[in-house]
Structure 1
Amino acid sequence: MKTNSSTNSHRASDSLDVEINKIYQQGNFNGFAVSIVNEESTLYQKGFGFSDIAEKKPYSINTIQNIASVSKTLVGIALLKAQELGKLNLDDPIQKYLPFKIINPNFPHKPITIRQLATHTSSILDNEFYLSKSYFLKPNQNLNGAKLNFDEEQIFNPSDSIMTMGTFLENVLSENGKWNKNSFSSHQPGEIYEYSNVGTALAAFIIERATGQEFSTFTREYILKPLQMKDSGWKFEDIQFSKFSRLYENPKTALPYYLSASYPDGGFITSIHDLSKYLTELIKGYNGKGTILTPKSYKEYFTPQLTAANFTERNTQNPYSESYNVGIFMGFGYTGYIGHTGGDPGVMSMLFFDPKNNLGRIMIFNTNFSDKKGNDAFYGIWNVLEKYQIYLNKKNN
């Protein structure tokens, strides 16, 4: 008896559910969501576990949370959109747009450019104050028994001390900034890849200065609305908070809700449902068929910008490390995968696609791990998604 492809596809989805559930049962993560997409649509998306353990609230495809550094890929899109609109040029010196002076004191005559920010070669570093001064508690939450730090160095500051992105950047980077200590590398701008969260936030701040729009507003207009990412945003007031997942330092320890002054570097709030639409658009864009940027802009976004000379060390062990090369805030693994990883208090995330087959995978977790067991489970789920993606893609076509 013949079965049609949709029945087979359901069977593949069911088998995939079972395999992922088996890994979930090991107890490393409280809740997470995964998806597989191609250039046309989402082939598979599913939530597992709980978005709130205490309330036994299921983690669904519409559960939202921040996704850590996968957020940076949106900063890259926003930069190219601002360039398309004639508001800036990637090769402009950053100083053209800033109300305070930023120079690497070791190279005072070498201007830093926007492109260098986007390729992590600006010589701007994340100093100790990035972890101790950038994160703030969400106002009006119950903090009974809540942890007010993460990994000892990372501190959740009181909500009444929240500051703007501009104030934070001025304090950390300007010549007379009170937290300007070890903020710059001994390498000159444009020379060496040194991953920088602060540099990412500065790129977003420059978009604000160049366009006259708040970064969150600019990205809503030019990315989220066109892609119908209705559950996504950068601020708690932009999203429906009842859908927001609790975040956990480990399966037993809940973290307080927090926000960051440097939010564009990791604070994008979204669901697997919305993020799947975004990854489909990225694959389309890579193939010259994107809708939110011109083919020319997408080509620049996805063109590896660096050479071996720009790296002191290169990751050739993990195919899913984005630190082998970089486009415009878009990472490249050494085997050719394109995308980004992310980690923040209570957050682990991965988003990559394979340009050879136009298939992409995403995972978002609400629980951190730091041991081999957690790492094996994390990549175990990633590998199971890969195992089924070709099959689901065939059945879909």
Structure 2
Amino acid sequence: MRFRTSWRVAAMLVAMLVSGWAGAVDAPAGAAGEGIDARLQVRMAESGLVGVGVAVIIDRKLAWSKGYGFADKQRGVPFTPDTVMAIGSISKTFTGVAMMQAVQEGSLSLDEDINRYLPFKVVHPAFPEARITLRQLATHTSGITDRWAVYERQYHWGGDAPETLGDFLPGYLAAGGKDYAPENFVPHAPGTHREYSNIGAALAGYIVERAVGEPLNTYTRRTIFAPLRMARSGWLLSEVPADAHATLYVAQDGFSIPLPPYGLTTYPDGGVRTSVAELSRFFIALLGGGQYEGARILQPASAAEMMRLQYTAANKPDNIVLAEKNSGLFWATKYDGRFVGHGGSDPGVRTEMLATPAGDVAVVLFTNTSLAERDGKVYAELFKDVWEHAQALKSAAK
């Protein structure tokens, strides 16, 4: 996740909630599958969530999708499965697909020193002989960390960020850069410790740009969005019609406070703007070995490698318990291995894109509202409601 205010508490709450109900995919139909509209509407009314969009995928096919509340409360615009909004760190999975496309084309190697691909040098100051690789960037074991005093400045309020990746990244990662400091790296050798890093993901996106010879946003428009018919999706505010984009909100003291639009300098880590309907196609493609309805975005072997859990007892990071957490390439297990996929969190954004490890049941969940940290349980209960509905739909489909 990217935005830090409520995610950690919410994650713990979800983990506690799912421990009692997520184990059985084939839950009986009935109460769990009835009244989903009323249940979600009550959650929204009690918490101040302005808009919610949801999709359920069963056996790699869209089974159900719906929107609730408002994309823009002031103008009375309903939130629908076609409403476009920022999705936060789910964007990293798009960076992951682009990375694997470049790997399968022979332009990149997952295990080569990244300095082979960069016009500036990235060296861990405490471990200068250790190389950093794309695989480490994609599993958050590169040693790069997000120094908040610098990272928070990469949010550009009012529009797309004016600073380029090529300007920001050397300033943060190369010795002598304007934002460089030893504290930009964890005190552990690359490959030995997991530290979630948005800037590391942005660096992976920049390496893809260098390898393919064009910006990530235009490359992925050709190689991901177009084949999957994601016509209203993009990375930048300027790429998405303003009237299609949801307003983002912060719920505070009973009020829904609209936020101004914002862009990200480090956009490969969280810049994608899409809808529940269009993200569902992308998710089905990942769960389906790289293709959706005949459109292929990855070869099967590349998709399998992206989603393969990379840690074993022999190579796991020193701070990881395998039964609780494992990682693919910009892909991970969540909540003690009960789910795989990715989530997102940013100002006014909470999203989930999660499936069973077998991929037979999956959920996409959007909300355009940030809650106070003390209200993080609401997100957990919202996901719980939707997942129970998905289980009921799976059972009914038998």
TM-score bracket for this pair, using the shorter chain length? 0.7 to 0.9
Q: Note closer, same or farther for the CA distance 1:197–1:282 as it changes in structure 2 (3 Å cut).
A: same
The answer to whether the Cα contact below 8 Å between 2:311 and 2:322 also exists between their aligned partners in 1 is: no
Q: Note closer, same or farther for the CA distance 1:221–1:358 as it changes in structure 2 (3 Å cut).
A: same
Compute the displacement of 1:228 (Å).
1.1
Once residues 252 and 237 of structure 1 are traced to their aligned partners in structure 2, the CA distance between those partners, rounded to angstroms, is: 25
Q: Note closer, same or farther for the CA distance 1:244–1:279 as it changes in structure 2 (3 Å cut).
A: same
Partner of 2:286: 282
Q: Note closer, same or farther for the CA distance 1:315–1:364 as it changes in structure 2 (3 Å cut).
A: farther
Deviations 1:244-303 (A, max 9, x none): 111112252221110000011011100011111111112212899983211111121111
Partner of 2:381: 380
Once superposed, which parts of structure 1, at least 4 consecutive aligned residues long, lie more than 4 Å away?
A: 11-14, 286-290, 313-317, 394-397
Compute the displacement of 1:111 (Å).
1.6
Once residues 250 and 41 of structure 2 are traced to their aligned partners in structure 1, the CA distance between those partners, rounded to angstroms, is: 21
In structure 2, the gaps of 5 or more residues are 1-28
Once residues 286 and 17 of structure 1 are traced to their aligned partners in structure 2, the CA distance between those partners, rounded to angstroms, is: 32
In structure 1, the gaps of 5 or more residues are 1-8, 140-158, 318-323
Q: For 1:310, what is the secondary structure of its paired residue?
A: coil
Partner of 1:342: 344
The answer to whether the Cα contact below 8 Å between 1:81 and 1:293 also exists between their aligned partners in 2 is: yes
The answer to whether the Cα contact below 8 Å between 1:208 and 1:215 also exists between their aligned partners in 2 is: yes
Partner of 1:190: 191
* AA matched with 1:102: V
Partner of 2:119: 99
Which of 292, 299, 313 is 1:294 aligned to? Answer: 299
Compute the displacement of 1:390 (Å).
3.1
The answer to whether the Cα contact below 8 Å between 1:28 and 1:377 also exists between their aligned partners in 2 is: no
Q: For 1:65, what is the secondary structure of its paired residue?
A: strand
Once residues 360 and 172 of structure 2 are traced to their aligned partners in structure 1, the CA distance between those partners, rounded to angstroms, is: 40
The answer to whether the Cα contact below 8 Å between 2:88 and 2:272 also exists between their aligned partners in 1 is: yes
Once residues 200 and 191 of structure 1 are traced to their aligned partners in structure 2, the CA distance between those partners, rounded to angstroms, is: 17
1:312 paired to 2:319: yes
Q: Note closer, same or farther for the CA distance 1:253–1:315 as it changes in structure 2 (3 Å cut).
A: farther
Between 1 and 2, higher relative CO (CA 8 Å, sep ≥ 6) is seen in: 2
Once residues 362 and 39 of structure 1 are traced to their aligned partners in structure 2, the CA distance between those partners, rounded to angstroms, is: 14
Compute the displacement of 1:364 (Å).
1.1
Partner of 2:51: 31
Compute the displacement of 1:13 (Å).
7.8
Q: For 1:285, what is the secondary structure of its paired residue?
A: coil
| Aligned-residue identity in percent | 32
**TM-score normalised to structure 2 length:** 0.85
Partner of 2:355: 353
Partner of 2:171: 171
Partner of 2:261: 257
Once residues 220 and 247 of structure 1 are traced to their aligned partners in structure 2, the CA distance between those partners, rounded to angstroms, is: 24
Deviations 1:370-389 (A, max 9, x none): 344x3232222211222221
Compute the displacement of 1:185 (Å).
1.4
Partner of 2:200: 199
Once residues 125 and 253 of structure 1 are traced to their aligned partners in structure 2, the CA distance between those partners, rounded to angstroms, is: 31
Compute the displacement of 1:107 (Å).
1.2
- Taking the TM superposition and a 5 Å limit, the aligned residue runs for 1:4-15 are 15=35
Once residues 249 and 310 of structure 1 are traced to their aligned partners in structure 2, the CA distance between those partners, rounded to angstroms, is: 36
Compute the displacement of 1:391 (Å).
3.0
Once residues 27 and 170 of structure 1 are traced to their aligned partners in structure 2, the CA distance between those partners, rounded to angstroms, is: 42
CA RMSD of aligned residues (A): 2.4
The answer to whether the Cα contact below 8 Å between 2:124 and 2:143 also exists between their aligned partners in 1 is: yes
Partner of 1:6: none
Once residues 32 and 259 of structure 1 are traced to their aligned partners in structure 2, the CA distance between those partners, rounded to angstroms, is: 22
Compute the displacement of 1:395 (Å).
4.6
Compute the displacement of 1:368 (Å).
0.8
Compute the displacement of 1:39 (Å).
3.5
* AA matched with 1:306: Y
Q: Note closer, same or farther for the CA distance 1:335–1:313 as it changes in structure 2 (3 Å cut).
A: closer
Once residues 86 and 128 of structure 1 are traced to their aligned partners in structure 2, the CA distance between those partners, rounded to angstroms, is: 35
The answer to whether the Cα contact below 8 Å between 2:249 and 2:257 also exists between their aligned partners in 1 is: yes
The answer to whether the Cα contact below 8 Å between 1:129 and 1:172 also exists between their aligned partners in 2 is: no
The answer to whether the Cα contact below 8 Å between 1:97 and 1:210 also exists between their aligned partners in 2 is: yes
Point out the more displaced range, 19-28 or 196-205.
19-28
The answer to whether the Cα contact below 8 Å between 1:36 and 1:42 also exists between their aligned partners in 2 is: yes
* AA matched with 1:43: A
Once residues 191 and 320 of structure 2 are traced to their aligned partners in structure 1, the CA distance between those partners, rounded to angstroms, is: 16
Q: For 1:103, what is the secondary structure of its paired residue?
A: coil
Compute the displacement of 1:314 (Å).
4.5
Point out the more displaced range, 205-214 or 352-361.
352-361
Compute the displacement of 1:237 (Å).
2.2
Once residues 149 and 369 of structure 2 are traced to their aligned partners in structure 1, the CA distance between those partners, rounded to angstroms, is: 24
Q: For 1:388, what is the secondary structure of its paired residue?
A: helix
Once residues 359 and 148 of structure 2 are traced to their aligned partners in structure 1, the CA distance between those partners, rounded to angstroms, is: 41
Q: How many pairs align?
A: 361
* AA matched with 2:105: L
Once residues 118 and 257 of structure 1 are traced to their aligned partners in structure 2, the CA distance between those partners, rounded to angstroms, is: 28
Partner of 1:227: 228
Once residues 272 and 397 of structure 2 are traced to their aligned partners in structure 1, the CA distance between those partners, rounded to angstroms, is: 30
Once residues 183 and 23 of structure 1 are traced to their aligned partners in structure 2, the CA distance between those partners, rounded to angstroms, is: 40
